[in-house]
Amino acid sequence: MSVKPRMKLDKKQAKKGDLVEVKALVAHIMETGQRRDGAGNVVPRKILNKFVCTVNGKEVFSADFEPAISANPYIQFKFKAQESGTVILTWIDDDGSKIVGQDSITVA
Amino acid sequence: MTMFNRRQALVVGAGAAAMAAFGASTGTAFAANDSEEQIKKFTGGKTAAQGRIKLDLPEIAENGNTVPMTVTVESPMTEQSYVASVLILADGNPRAGVATFHFSPASGVAEANTRIRLASTQNIVAVAKMNDGSFFTASKQVKVTIGGCGG
């Protein structure tokens, strides 16, 4: 599944120590495993259960998601700018597949 | 022959009793929300003090399918003192778990925003774990007009 997440850093260039805000949205059904289909069968759970943000390979923020996270999950958080590099966001699906988003930041 | 029948009956009886007990226990576990157990598991039995957490949620959510939620924990976020993780629970959902956020000194600030599903009017509970092993908690009620669990 090649879903492309939408992500935005509030600044592309930061001073060391600045807080950089990340907003990200990814299209995903986030099936809860609580619903039943027309025939009365439970629709199996399928959610993104894990989210990780790394900057230059170092984890700055992560989250575990439960079925109570809305469809098309949105996440917003901040990290402290330390060095220039790549910002990688990874979502992990229940089936093991990954959705990855990438951006870069320049730290003066 | 009679003995065999009686044993058979006993075995069947015991099996049925076990099945009934199992069914009942899973039944209650499913029906009752597990928020208290989740908190106990997260804190390891320690009591969490009130305060330091700000839960930003609407008073009234018209659509329970997507309720914006911001959680902020007061902390200097240095190597000496930072927020390690924050557990978010909804005590009126079929399952209590909503999300767990993991922070580190590299986060700079312990703040996260996402959108959550709420089945009905209920309390949202946040429990923050500090790096020194202490816990803080806060909760907020949200009135939900239309539930969001597709029930």
Write down the pLDDT at residue B23: 40
B14 and B86 part of one domain: no
Residue (of B65, B89, B90, B91) closest to B151 by Cα position:
B65
Contact across the interface for A62 and B102, Cβ inside 8 Å: yes
B20 and B62 part of one domain: no
Residues of A in contact with B106 (CB under 8 A): 55, 58-60, 79-80, 82
Instruction: Please give the ipTM for the structure prediction.
Output: 0.92
C-alpha–C-alpha distance, residues B50 and B57, integer Å: 18
Residue with tokens 């699906």: A93
Candidate from A71, A75, A79 with C-beta closest to B107: A79
B70 and B1 part of one domain: no
B10 and B55 part of one domain: no
B41 and B95 part of one domain: yes
Give residue limits of the domains in chain A. 6-107
Domain count, chain B: 2
B95 and B50 part of one domain: yes
Write down the pLDDT at residue B19: 46
Length of chain B: 151
Q: B112 at the A interface (CB within 8 A)?
A: yes
Write down the pLDDT at residue B121: 92
Higher pLDDT, B9 or A64: A64
C-alpha torsion sign, points B147, B112, A95, A66: negative
User: Is the pTM above the cut of 0.95?
Assistant: no
DSSP secondary structure letter of residue B134: -
Which tokens go with A70? 């809305």
| Structure confidence by residue, pLDDT tens digits, B60-113 | 998 999 999 999 999 999 999 999 999 999 999 989 999 999 999 999 999 999
**Which of A85-102 are b and which e, b meaning 16 or more Cβ less than 10 Å from the residue's Cβ?**
bebbbbbbbbeeeebebe
Which tokens go with A71? 């469809």
Domain presence at residue B150: no
DSSP-assigned beta bridge partners for residue A24? A7, A75
Which tokens go with B149? 């669990």
B16 and B89 part of one domain: no
C-alpha–C-alpha distance, residues A101 and A12, integer Å: 15
B24 and B50 part of one domain: no
Higher pLDDT, B147 or B76: B76
**Enclosing domain of residue B82:** 33-144
Q: Options 2.40.110.10, 3.40.50.1010, 2.40.50.320, 2.60.40.10; which CATH number does A6-107 get?
A: 2.60.40.10
Residues of A with CB under 8 A from a CB of B: 19, 32, 34-35, 55, 58-71, 73-80, 82
Contact across the interface for B112 and A55, Cβ inside 8 Å: no
Element housing A17 (H / E): none
Candidate from B90, B104, B109 with C-beta closest to A68: B90
Contact across the interface for A70 and B67, Cβ inside 8 Å: yes
Q: B104 at the A interface (CB within 8 A)?
A: yes
B1 and B58 part of one domain: no
B65 and B127 part of one domain: yes
Residues of B in contact with A67 (CB under 8 A): 95, 97, 117
Residue (of A92, A55, A96, A97) closest to A77 by Cα position:
A55
| Structure confidence by residue, pLDDT tens digits, A57-72 | 999 999 999 999 999 9
Residue (of B31, B42, B26, B30) closest to B125 by Cα position:
B42
